[in-house]
Amino acid sequence: MNVLLDACVPRLIRKFLNNSTVRTAQEMGWAELKNGALLKQAESKFEAFVTTDKNLRYQQNLTGRNLAILVLPTNDWNLLKQHPVEIASAVDALKPGDFVELNF
């Protein structure tokens, strides 16, 4: 799966996603794009988008999107690094158009 990490997601998350090709918004030159423009760009090149923006579903119309979105509960690496299996499993299970929020 081709996965885009939002600018707010720690880059070290990529080491959990062994079954995926992972790029960051920064690597793509999209770090300055706001959510709507970022999602539009992401959808053209990626299957999944990982973010920590819990308000995304309220700020953007996600209806009809093929991009799967995973929302992590925090961008705190000290907490995230304790849940590699949960994060990897959630990404691996994503289907087009999914919107999944992890809580741990």
Assign residue 38 a region: left if phi > 0, alpha if psi is -120 to 50, beta otherwise? alpha
Give the global pTM: 0.95
**Rounded distance, CA 66 to CA 86, Å?**
23
**Residue 20's pLDDT band (cuts 50, 70, 90):** very high
Contact 50, 13 (CB under 8 A): yes
Measuring CA to CA, which residue among 45, 14, 12, 50 is closest to residue 29? 45
* Res 49: pLDDT: 97
- 30-88 pLDDT, tens digit each: 989 988 899 999 999 999 999 999 999 888 888 888 999 999 999 999 999 999 999 99
